Structures are given as structure tokens and as C-alpha cells.
Amino acid sequence: MSELTPADLSILLVEPSKTQQKIIAQHLQKEEITNIEFADSVEQAIACVKLSVPDLVASAMHFSDGTALDLVGQLKNNPNTEDVPFMLVSSEHRKPQLEEFRQSGVVAILPKPFNPTDLATAINATLDLLTPNELELEYFDVHDIRVLVVDDSKLARKFVMRVLSSLGIQRITEASDGSEAIDLLKNNNYDLVVTDYNMPEVNGKELTEYIRTQSEQSHIPVLMVSSEANEAHLANIEQSGVNAMCDKPFEPENVRKILYRLLEGEE
């Protein structure tokens, strides 16, 4: 199977402003993406997707008939479109509003205006999802690695598992929060734990502390996924014993590098 390039991608751009449509399309064309369909509302976007499922949906935040979150919800609840990568392009900077998108498993969140590097990163993340590229490890068979994914958001869990699957990891168990993860750890062995930070009952920090101090698998690598940006808060998380931290959105290439370091001891 030949490797996909940006020129192979089909993109649905959902943007109510014709001016912004042109500006974003110009940026996409600079990345050699020319197969672009346009929609200016949630309803029109859903109609376009029904006719032809794109490789990526790039969407603004607000429309006359709803928001990008409404669009994400409809796409994720349809078996035919639930795996379509979704990229938010918005001038929204308020953390609570953006957090909902991070929890929904978007491939990227780009600010308006965005720079070419941000767009290229998002396009590459999409290509990584569409063209699986297995990890080549010296000490592990990637197909045998046992991973426990912990997140209270079903959509976020699914996206994390999709990224891990694109790297060749097949033995994945999911838990909806830290409490369920602890029960699983008591009865099963894992090679890696990937956990969200913000969860009810038992959060990611508390789960990591349990693993390090009470579990029979105290040396298992823990990858913490967090959208927190506060340095003091992140330092507090690191003190719990996590081996690595990763931002949301969960980017395949970044995850690949982290897993090499955790599983192979490589920088």
C-alpha cells in the first residue's frame, strides 16, 4: 500500500464566512491539498458527509444552526463517520469551551489566525491515522504489548485507542475511570498505562500513586494525558510517578516518540 500524501486528502471545510473559507483554503492549498468541499452550517456539513465521507473535517466553532460540538456529536454518533478526523479552527481561547473538544477526540485545535507549522502538524496527524505505521521495537513485539487506556470520556478513549492501533498495538483494555482501572490492575498484567488526568472518583494522579505504592505492577510505565497548562500543576502530577506526559489532542507522531522512550529506553 502506497503512503498517502497531503495531495491525496479530501477535506470538508465548514466555515460560515466566505472570506475565511478562501483564507483557510489558500493555506490548505499551500500544503498541496486541493480536494476541498465547503459547507457554511451544521446541516449543510452533514448533508455533504452523507454524499461523500471526507478524510478530514476542518470546522469553525459557531454557525447559525449550532456549533462545532453539535457537528462533532453527529459525526461521532454515526457508524459511517465516527472515525473521520476532526480539526477545530477557531479564535476561541476559553479553556472550558476548548476542553469539550479535547475530550471529544479531535485531531487538532488550530487558533485563528494559525501558522503554517500548526496546520502541517494537524495534516500530518491526520495522515498518521489514515496510514498506520507500526512501531518497530527491539525488546517488544508491538502486537503483544498490553495497554490499559483510562479516560472518563468514551470519545477520548476511542481516539487514544485508535492512535495506539495505528502504531500496531492490538491488546488494548479500556477503563472509564481510575477506580475501574485499579480493579483491572488487581487481576491483569499490563506493559503500559495511558491515563487521563481529570477523572471523577480516582483521577490520573491518584491512579499513578496507587500503581507506584500499592500495585504489584509498581514499575509499569505510565503515560499521563492532560490538557493542563499550569506548570505548577504539571510538576505536581509528575511527582506522582508518571513516566511521561502528553497533551490533548493525542498526536500520533508525538506518541510514537514517547513510546519508543518508554519501551526501548531511547530518546
Taking the chain (267 residues) in consecutive chunks of 10 residues, what is each chunk's mean pLDDT? 80 96 93 95 96 95 94 92 92 79 85 86 88 84 94 90 92 95 96 92 92 93 78 61 84 87 73
CATH number, domain of 188, equals 3.40.50.2300
Looking at the fold, whether 124 and 151 belong to one and the same domain comes out as no
Q: What does the pLDDT read at residue 165?
A: 92
Q: What does the pLDDT read at residue 214?
A: 94
Domain extent at residue 194: 142-264
Looking at the fold, whether 120 and 193 belong to one and the same domain comes out as no
| Phi, psi angles (nearest 5°) of residue 215 | -80, 150
The domain boundary residue, chosen from 97, 130, 163:
130
Looking at the fold, whether 208 and 256 belong to one and the same domain comes out as yes
Q: What does the pLDDT read at residue 151?
A: 94
> What contacts 24+ positions apart, CB below 8 Å, involve 237-243?
237/197, 237/204, 237/205, 240/205, 240/206, 240/208, 240/209, 240/212, 241/208, 241/209, 241/211, 241/212, 242/204, 242/208
Looking at the fold, whether 155 and 126 belong to one and the same domain comes out as no
What is the separation of C-alpha 204 from the centre of its chain, rounded to a whole number of angstroms? 17
Q: Residues with Cβ < 8 Å from 141, sequence gap 6 or more? A: none
Give me the number of domains the chain comprises. Answer: 2
Residue 93 within any structural domain of the chain: yes
Residue 135 within any structural domain of the chain: no
Looking at the fold, whether 156 and 258 belong to one and the same domain comes out as yes
Q: What does the pLDDT read at residue 112?
A: 84
Looking at the fold, whether 75 and 116 belong to one and the same domain comes out as yes
Looking at the fold, whether 53 and 148 belong to one and the same domain comes out as no
Q: What does the pLDDT read at residue 266?
A: 52
